[in-house]
Chain A
Amino acid sequence: MCNSNSNEQTALTAPDKKIVRALQEDFPLCEEPYKILAERAGIDEEKFLERVKDFLREKKIRKMGAVLQHRTAGFKSNALCVWNVPPEKLLEVAEIMSAHSAVSHCYDRNPAPNWNYNLYTMIHAKSREECDAIIAELSKLTGITNFQALYSKKEWKKTAMKYFDDEPSTNDE
């Protein structure tokens, strides 16, 4: 839906890559944050603001804004719930699940051998019991009864991607 695009659209020029690199660093909490970002990119502020607006229009940037800690809103439990949905019902089921406020992410994914799940939802709630109740509700709403709730045991990594990072990965020999 929102990610069909051709490669022509995605080619970024060297100055655009500089803008992306500047934008992915900490957003300055001061009166003129874009001026500082523009300086980092070595571009005039006016031009920089125009390009940011272009990127928003072209959906290279999904949003300029903030994401809350889930805990802030009282969400202490999260489950990745995977569903086995008949392909012809996928869109309809995805729409019902996406409409639920406890669902933060909803993706389709290709099934794998011995893993027939094709719809993935992230569910947030105040407790595991509440998560389970929401999953039961989603199951009832959609009629999908073949699913698994995968609760997280440990967060090993959660970071923002560094795009066009010239530093080679540490795993590169």
Chain B
Amino acid sequence: MEDFPVLEMKHISKSFPGVMANDDISLQLKKGEVHALLGENGAGKTTLMNILFGIYHADRGEVFINNGKVSITSPSHALKYGIGMVQQHFTLVPSFTVAENVVLGLKDFGFVIKTKTVESKIKELSEAYGLPVNPRARVWTLSVGERQRIEILKLLYTGAGIIILDEPTAVLTPQESDMLFKAIRKLVSEGSSVIFISHKLDEVLAISDRITVLRGGKVVGTVEREKIDRRGLVRMMVGRDVLLDQEKPVVETGRAILKIENLNVKNDKDLMSVRDLSLEIRSGEILGIAGVAGNGQRELAEAIYGLRKKVSGRIELDGHELRQGNVAERIRAGLSFIPQDRKTMATCPNLSVMSNLFMKNSICELVHCSPWKLDGRRMHSKADELIGEFSISTPSAKTEVRYLSGGNLQKVVLARELSNEPKVIIAEHPTRGLDIGAMEFVYKSLLSQKERGAAILLLAGELYEIFRLSDRVAVIYEGQIMGYTPPDPSYIEEIGFMMAGARQEDH
């Protein structure tokens, strides 16, 4: 293989409101190599590739193809330079046939489309690369795996030399993944270059020649496959700056309040994402769930809270089984939820602080008023009380919450979710995007709930946060709990292994 850079991205930066998605990223792609971009969700992998593919425009930085500087402004532009991308959201027309999708937009056909020749060429390609698909089938009738093959065939058909695959195995069965890997190997052996985006260590180790690890929008480093092992990659991905700086209150744990048995939940793509999961949280205990994002955490939280239907399994709150999909029942039973999505799920941005505080149906108990008529005065005075108690900095209780900062918004959520003394709290990324002050406030609030005797399920991406708060750490991988460790940084490598899919008893 030649050491010829077909593509170079230099000093790419891109920020979105409030987030630095890419911070001075440089990347080099050689001819005939598989280059993996490894990092957690939110590390900036997809943003970087969307810049390369012309969907986003970089704030700063340059792109070179075959040592010539280029400016890519749209996907069609990128295709002209031979860059093709298979996005996580497929770009196929469902009502079209496979062949029609492949030739869509291509100019080398006359006014009337002759699908015969296209179909036979697709057949050839799909046989040559081991990507079986029926060119005449309508896309909406096909499985996700088949759709992905069409996306790849689309690129092969146009002869793209640089192929970006964004989390290609996320939707595939293991067999389909093997098929894909074979096709990738054949592609690079013929001189194409592949950028392989993933957060799964095993895959990255199996397929790539070089690996670039991203964290928090920055490049941690680029390494040769031969010169690194799993342990090294885990260190690069997770980072070593995990510190403990404050004591946890010691609370005697009581009976098991939240019990989950053999829970199975599907995600939006209709794939099983929580699989036979069982866990138990006692009163006064915080169970931290560590794991790479997208391994079933969200589905687990939503299923417990009743927002998502479970396929099977049992969820018990303080001895009572919770019915399918009934959120009101759960709220009455003392279950609180702090969702990760503050602006869309946890609050109504255009309503006032007061309205957001009393949005739940526990409102009447909180202000002792009739369920039929809202008592504005009582609500107002209770709102002022909560604003003081949770030190929410807002001009007034009537201010719309969209004017509040992230930290204050989260305090509004905490005030609502914690002030009626819940028995169980599900906290999903409770400090994501917050500054240190607000973070500490969230930690203190959760720890004081623990002291009061609440059972808390903490789903967080940052290990620091998990160590800081939890009494036990569970590691989730593909919807299953791989094992438990004490909340101690000395277990970080073990946790990393389990995050990558190794079972605890494996070593």
- The judgment on whether A and B are partners is no
